[in-house]
């Protein structure tokens, strides 16, 4: 697959504070890469450099074959940016915002108007089109913001924490919009603090912390790093609890006597499940509850950063 974004050895300091300490990654055409990390990890700085807002101290960046340090003005034609704070004009209406940005992307008046209408429909903003943006809700602003970055249908989109501060429903809506974008073949670089978001949307994830890449891979690969799925069996009495520990001994279970819970590592395909349940049934034990825990990206993250917070 074609590497449409290529980043090598990217560094950036603000005074003594080295925010990026050498970042490498690439994004393949038509896929999404998520930059995952806590506040201050260097995600926004990376996006700002890639979208020509900041110049890096060192490193090479090529986007769609264009060298960032030589031709930032050409890069601006192939990218769309949705930054952290909604980049919309409060005193203009939704439709005016779209048309204005379309004109600045060098669309003709007619093209801009037509494209604005399409996007207002796609992003469920038709009713609000003629209202001033300052009267929009947070979710509507973010939708408009994303719509604006699509006005000139750029092949590459940067989304910097697009769902931060949104309620769960608006977040779901944003995810749907982003999925549609991916389906249409757009390449996306997304930054997020939400592990679930990266898990849901991204093809590849890189985890950054303290200005460095601390892990990379598909969501599945990252989850595999933290270990296997776990089966937890909660029992009704101490007798059952002790019995289960003895009959499941070969699975080397973990025990929590206070909660009467026995935990067993199982394979991701669930092939261990039936023999274990059969053993329980054979011993005539009916548990109070059975749960399967899959490792989340939260687990990945905590494991990789050892729970330490990275300074802003």
Which residues make up the interface to another protein (CB under 8 A)? 48, 51-54, 73, 76-77, 79, 81, 83-89, 91-92, 96, 100-101, 103-106, 132, 148-149
Residue placing its CB nearer to another protein in the complex, 6 or 132 = 132
First-to-last C-alpha distance (Å) of the chain: 36
Least Å from the CB of residue 127 to another protein: 20
Residue placing its CB nearer to another protein in the complex, 139 or 253 = 139
Least Å from the CB of residue 75 to another protein: 9
Least Å from the CB of residue 85 to another protein: 4
Least Å from the CB of residue 101 to another protein: 7
Residue placing its CB nearer to another protein in the complex, 87 or 303 = 87
Residue placing its CB nearer to another protein in the complex, 46 or 261 = 46
Least Å from the CB of residue 187 to another protein: 16
Name residues whose C-beta falls within 8 Å of residue 199's C-beta, 6 or more positions apart in sequence.
205, 219, 296, 297
Least Å from the CB of residue 245 to another protein: 57
Least Å from the CB of residue 141 to another protein: 10
Residue placing its CB nearer to another protein in the complex, 145 or 199 = 145
Give dist(CA 188, CA 271) in Å, integer: 36
Residue placing its CB nearer to another protein in the complex, 132 or 225 = 132
- Determine contact, residues 20/45, Cβ cutoff 8 Å: yes
Residue placing its CB nearer to another protein in the complex, 15 or 307 = 15
């Amino acid at each position: 697959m074609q590497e449409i974004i290529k980043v090598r050895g990217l560094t950036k300091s603000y005074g003594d504070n080295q925010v990026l300490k050498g970042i490498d990654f690439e994004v393949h055409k038509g896929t999404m890469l998520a930059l995952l990390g806590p506040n201050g990890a260097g995600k926004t700085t990376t996006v700002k450099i890639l979208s020509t807002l900041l110049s890096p101290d060192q490193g090479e960046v090529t986007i769609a074959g264009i060298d960032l340090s030589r031709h930032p003005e050409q890069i601006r034609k192939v990218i769309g940016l949705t930054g952290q704070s909604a980049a919309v004009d409060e005193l203009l209406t939704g439709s005016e915002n779209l048309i204005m940005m379309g004109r600045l992307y060098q669309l003709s008046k007619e093209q801009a108007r037509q494209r604005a209408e399409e996007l207002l429909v796609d992003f469920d903003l038709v009713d609000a089109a003629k209202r001033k943006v300052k009267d929009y809700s947070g979710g509507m602003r973010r939708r408009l913001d994303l719509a604006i970055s699509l006005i000139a249908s750029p092949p590459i989109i940067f989304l910097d924490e697009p769902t931060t501060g949104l309620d769960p429903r608006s977040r779901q809506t944003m995810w749907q919009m982003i999925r549609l974008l991916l389906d249409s073949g757009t390449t996306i670089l997304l930054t997020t603090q939400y592990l679930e978001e990266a898990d849901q949307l991204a093809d590849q994830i890189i985890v950054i912390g303290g200005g460095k890449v601390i892990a990379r891979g598909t969501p599945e690969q990252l989850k595999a790093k933290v270990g296997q799925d776990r089966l937890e069996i909660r029992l009704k009495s101490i007798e059952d609890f002790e019995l289960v520990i003895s009959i499941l001994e070969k699975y080397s279970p973990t025990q929590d006597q206070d909660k009467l819970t026995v935990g067993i590592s199982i394979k991701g395909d669930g092939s261990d499940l039936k023999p274990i349940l059969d053993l329980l049934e054979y011993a005539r034990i009916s548990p109070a509850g059975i749960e399967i825990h899959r490792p989340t990206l939260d687990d990945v993250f905590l494991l990789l950063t050892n729970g330490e917070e990275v300074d802003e």
